[in-house]
Structure 1
């Protein structure tokens, strides 16, 4: 029997179990995928802890994980775009952390051969989120854009996408990520108390757009620095979005196979880098989420389900 991550009650990482599950059946428009890698996301912690129970309640025993990469094992009779053995990138809400998943054919896109399995798993989640955030503020050549948490999973991609549009990018981060960001062509500014003053000093001619990936008052900082609300996007502070009328575009606004395919091709060509912080085995899922909860991550944490 295949194995999958499940939890039977809300709680910390200790509620996560790797259990045997029935092999899913494939419908006419569906594809069965042998999962190779799965990306971990902070939002999954909140779901598992019950923070969104009033909006997205768990159906116990609940699965976990969304964005993955794998190899097609079986296709339904009406599926024409994929065949057994194809390498794919996909999205399986609350189900991806498993040895096998079934998804509709429309939830998959081909994985480029030049893209590693770990990086491929990150495309549908943080890749789409970064794409949506950058599209929301439309950076132009020569403009100055601030990206908060620029060394994190979303931030590091968003910063690079903004640079590809010709913008000057200032990235907020901790001291340990200064050299890392500079290597990517991003100008680092340390976050924490006094951030607004440091940003003003780094951009005396003003800031044109601001991407908030972490909350913690970043929208208020952007407003205080004179950034127009239409050029601010937050994926982490819905209260500030309502208060100031800023944009709040995120994964749901760009999570399509077309966007995944475009991002995957760009990453495979080396146009931007997806940084992998650490890779874990499926049985290490509890520790993976303990590490993720520390939040001071450079890039993404990924589960490796099987060798490819």
Structure 2
């Protein structure tokens, strides 16, 4: 099969190459997926640069990519949940960095797999699991949001856009930070936008009419603002700043979970969650997709389409 690979840790994206690789082995409790789409996430190029070496063992050559949507083409000996021909999606991270999703086929543990909803295209389904799961876990960590005001740092990003929509389904009033060009986008998702930068705390208090009840941070470097605007007894969580744990917050790290991905699929099928696709790339342009992701100005998601 064709796959994108790298042979060593490197921040030089030109070391990525498309190569013929052996088809994945299929463990008993796994499915073999023909990849139709695979979302790009910042963790993909951070892993390539060695950023998670202290947490996860690596086996070179590495095929990057942790998101996938595709068709089941084979099932392991212990997978009664799925059959050949099923359309599925998954956050497909494994305990060892090696066989990822930027390839024509990938084997994924059945515990991480969910059925693709008809409401989503392949590209949308491939972009949703990791970013959507991160948003879902962060919003879950904030507790009951009915009638409460939530500040979302980075509301126009790949994770933040999902968080705005999920919080809206919980009955929250949402204030989201974004550049001015993305303010209409935030409104379309159900949030009230404001610009980030100097004076943010005052702007948030003005929009909220006082302190906010909860904060979700998908940017990092926002702890001072979070603590400034958060009301007494309020909840906060961050995917980008572990130091929130020293101030009563939750640090979010998402594990593969087919049940969680199925919750996202249900929200999409019910019309409560839309997936914004910024651009798609073939396998031989993964380096370009990583560069675009690193630039940090993309609204919505970038997707690899083998």
TM-score by length of 2: 0.93
Unaligned runs of 5+ in 2: none
Contact in 2 for aligned 1:12/1:48 (Cα 8 Å): no
Which residue of 1 is the match for residue 46 of structure 2? 46
* TM-aligned CA deviation for residue 57 of structure 1: 4.7
- Equivalent residue, structure 2, for 1:281: 282
Equivalent residue number for residue 236 of structure 2:
232
Q: Distance in 2 between matches of 1:227 and 1:61?
A: 49
Question: Within 2, Cα distance between the matches of 1:65 and 1:187?
Answer: 33
Q: Matched residues in 2 for 1:107 and 1:55: separation?
A: 20
For 2:29 and 2:300, how far apart are their aligned partners in 1? Answer: 34
CA distance in 1: counterparts of 2:21 and 2:234, whole angstroms? 47
Aligned twin of 2:216: 211
- Note the residue ranges of structure 1 that are not aligned, 5 or more in a row: none
The answer to whether the Cα contact below 8 Å between 2:154 and 2:218 also exists between their aligned partners in 1 is: yes
Are 2:252 and 1:249 aligned? Answer: yes
Larger strand proportion of the pair? 2
Q: What CA distance in whole angstroms lies between the structure 1 residues aligned with 2:168 and 2:290?
A: 31
State how many pairs are aligned.
300
Q: CA deviation at 1:230?
A: 5.7
1:227-277 per-position Cα deviation (integer Å, ceiling 9, x unaligned)? 457601000011x2243231113323xx42112112112112211211111
Q: Secondary structure at the match of 1:279?
A: strand
Cα distance in structure 2, aligned partners of 1:82 and 1:142:
40
Cα separation, 1, equivalents of 2:292 and 2:174: 28
Cα displacement (A) at 1:302: 0.7
- Tell me what 1:221 maps to: 225
Equivalent position of 1:303 in the other structure: 304
C-alpha change, 1:41 and 1:281, in structure 2 (3 Å) is same
CA distance in structure 1 between the partners assigned to 2:231 and 2:56 by the alignment:
33
Matches within 5 A, 1:1-308: 2-9=1-8, 10-93=10-93, 94=97, 95-216=100-221, 218-228=222-232, 231-238=235-242, 240-252=243-255, 255-305=256-306
Alpha-carbon distance change, 223 to 24 in structure 1, aligned in 2, over 3 angstroms: same
Shift of 1:29: 2.6
**Distance in 2 of aligned mates of 1:134 and 1:24:** 35
Contact 1:150 1:172 in 2 (8 A): yes
Contact 1:6-1:18 at 8 Å conserved across structures: yes
Following the alignment from structure 1 to structure 2, what is the Cα–Cα distance between the partners of residues 229 and 48?
40
Distance change in 2, residues 1:59/1:27 (3 Å): closer
Contact 1:229–1:247, Cα closer than 8 Å, also in 2: no
Secondary structure of 2:251's counterpart equals coil
Do the aligned partners of residues 262 and 54 (structure 1) sit closer, same or farther apart at CA in structure 2, a change above 3 Å counting? closer
Contact between 2:117 and 2:268, CA under 8 Å: does it hold in 1?
no
* Residue 185 of structure 1, CA deviation: 2.1
Measure the CA separation in 1 of the matches of 2:296 and 2:231. 27
Change over 3 Å in CA distance of 1:189–1:4 after alignment to 2: same
